[in-house]
Amino acid sequence: MSISSSSASAQLTTDRLVLRPWTTVEPTAVLDNTRSVLWADDFPAEGDRVVAGPFEQHPGWLGEHGHRLIIEGDSGLVVGSIGLFRPPSEGTVEIGYGLVPSRRDRGYATEATRALADFALTVPDVHTVVAGAELSNPASVRVLEKAGFHRWTTKGNVARFMITRRERHQR
């Protein structure tokens, strides 16, 4: 993974993906269903619409430590979104992610989750990244496990996962 910075944001690049912050106009395009030629045919998914809604109330989510679009390196198309829900609470941030159905089962979610969690754990005021996954969604559970998270609790149908700065260095 590499991090390249522009004047206003940081972009994360993995072997097959680019994770870049949303622009200020993209949430409106998602909410208004204004199609872009830079989107996969099935983007945005419902989760992307949910994330796009609160950007106005949480403008920090558009910054380098917030939410990002997942761009497939080969095609250059937006295929999902991933983000950190900030600000940190006692050194902990939560990560959430989603991919469009056409790009699932390729390891993209794991690759993106690992990259953003690694990035989050380099931020001075963050020492833990957490995530939740519904047990009825075993693919999401596998994403977190493959990305290096471990399950620390289960409540009802939701398993909670975490990775710490120390665990990241032990990988």
**What's the pLDDT tens digit per position in 92-131?**
999 999 999 999 999 999 999 999 999 999 998 899 999 9
- Report pLDDT for 39: 97
CA gap 129, 167 in Å, rounded: 11
Average pLDDT over residues 72-87: 93
Q: Please list the alpha-helical segments (H only) found in the chain.
A: 26-32, 46-52, 108-120, 138-146, 165-170
- Report pLDDT for 112: 98
Which one is predicted more confidently, 9 or 134?
Answer: 134
**What's the pLDDT tens digit per position in 2-45?**
444 333 347 999 999 999 999 989 999 999 999 999 999 999 99
Which one is predicted more confidently, 1 or 44?
Answer: 44
- Report pLDDT for 87: 77
Write out the H or E segment, with its range, that includes residue 128: strand 128-134
Q: What is the four-CA torsion angle of 51, 41, 35, 7, rounded to 10 degrees?
A: 60
- Report pLDDT for 1: 54
**What's the pLDDT tens digit per position in 140-171?**
999 999 999 999 999 999 999 999 998 776 66
- Report pLDDT for 5: 38
CA gap 93, 85 in Å, rounded: 6
CB 69 within 8 A of CB 44: no
